[in-house]
């Protein structure tokens, strides 16, 4: 025998509220190196001629960022035009060889996040909430001919 259907009392249902897409701004960053391109044009070997201890250089700077929230990281200013030091860059702004390398490594993000380590060096990665999935290191930022993206 079938059970009778019982109507729910009004107000008994919970209302789902969408998550805040900017909630990561209040979080501290975390890093992931599983997609780091150790062997590519901006890999470990190519960086050694500019920085003797690449890993130490990266680790020291990332440790300093870990005391900040993403909001503070995004608001850090300075540089040539006193703009933001850390920001997203559209994939199509990167040089063709960098775009090809990203494709070969199955990095399909529309934008990469640029994190300024110092005047001449950057880390690029894919930001997923508060995690930056680090893709490559660019020690050539000051040398526009060798750096990873096209300056406009």
Q: Of 19-33, 75-89, 136-150, which has the strongest mean pLDDT?
A: 19-33
Query: For tokens 């110092």, what's the residue?
Result: 118
Alpha-carbon span 132 to 116, nearest angstrom: 13
Which of these, 60, 64, 58, 66, lies nearest to 28 by C-alpha position? 66
The residue extents of the domains of the chain are 27-138
Structure confidence by residue, pLDDT tens digits, 30-83: 999 898 888 777 766 666 656 667 778 788 889 999 999 999 999 886 655 556
Alpha-carbon span 41 to 148, nearest angstrom: 9
Centre a 10 Å sphere on the Cβ of residue 145 and count the other Cβ atoms it contains: 5
């Amino acid at each position: 025998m079938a059970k009778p259907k019982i109507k729910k009392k009004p107000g008994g249902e919970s209302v789902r509220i969408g998550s805040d897409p900017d909630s990561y701004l209040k979080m501290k960053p975390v890093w992931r190196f599983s997609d780091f391109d150790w062997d590519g044009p901006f890999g470990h070997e190519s960086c050694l001629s500019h920085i003797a201890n690449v890993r130490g250089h990266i680790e020291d700077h990332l440790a300093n960022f870990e005391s900040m929230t993403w909001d503070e990281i995004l608001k850090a200013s300075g540089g040539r035009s006193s703009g933001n030091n850390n920001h997203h860059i559209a994939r199509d702004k990167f040089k063709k060889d960098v775009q090809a390398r990203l494709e070969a490594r199955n990095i399909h993000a529309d934008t990469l996040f640029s994190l300024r380590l110092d005047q001449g060096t950057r880390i690029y990665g894919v930001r997923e909430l508060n995690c930056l999935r680090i893709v490559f290191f660019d020690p050539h930022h000051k040398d526009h001919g060798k750096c990873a993206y096209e300056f406009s």
